[in-house]
Amino acid sequence: MKINRQPTLETEKIILYSLQEKDFDELYIAASDPKIWEQHPNKDRWKKEIFKTFFDGAIQSKGAFKIVDKATGNTIGSTRFYDYNDLENSIFIGYTFYTIEYWGKGINYSVKVTMLDYIFQFVSKVYFHIGADNIRSQIAIGRLGAKKITEQEVIYYGETPKLNYVYEISKEKWQKLNNKRQKNE
């Protein structure tokens, strides 16, 4: 089965749209605050020329999204599916960032739940690269039920390699967590 890695995904508060070349300026506005990148492996992505490299990698991934606030229509961040592995039936989710106004409001959790619900129709495992110094993201990914399985140097498109932790969640575990969450709602 062929996976559409850029479907339009939606929650009650946000919409994930397929990232397009024409989205550069509005996504850069969202990404231009240095505070966003303080814990990310590549801390200079707030600089336009460095962000352009990040953006070009997102476009080439053919799995990137811009995240839009439904209430305001503003672009508030980006995320992507990448590194699909047919033999292992797995994919990565990552390269995620949000404007600081949306931190601590459950947006990341909601986006990841929506992405996982969608992609587990096609794969049996999802991995996440999380920067070794990105404590905020390590905590967030743990709340989803993903577990750290290893450490890996990640080669970023047009950037220097950085140490990342690799987290994993299986389809089976995700379904159990979803069932438990739905019973508690």
Spans of all domains in the chain: 9-184
Average pLDDT in the chain? 93
| Tens digits of residue pLDDT in 122-146 | 999 999 999 998 998 999 999 999 9
User: Nearest CA to 161 among 129, 136, 137?
Assistant: 129
Tell me the torsion sign for CA atoms 43, 48, 53, 54.
positive
pTM for the complete prediction? 0.92
- Give me the pLDDT at residue 1, please: 60
| Tens digits of residue pLDDT in 148-159 | 999 998 877 777
Domain 9-184 has CATH 3.40.630.30: yes
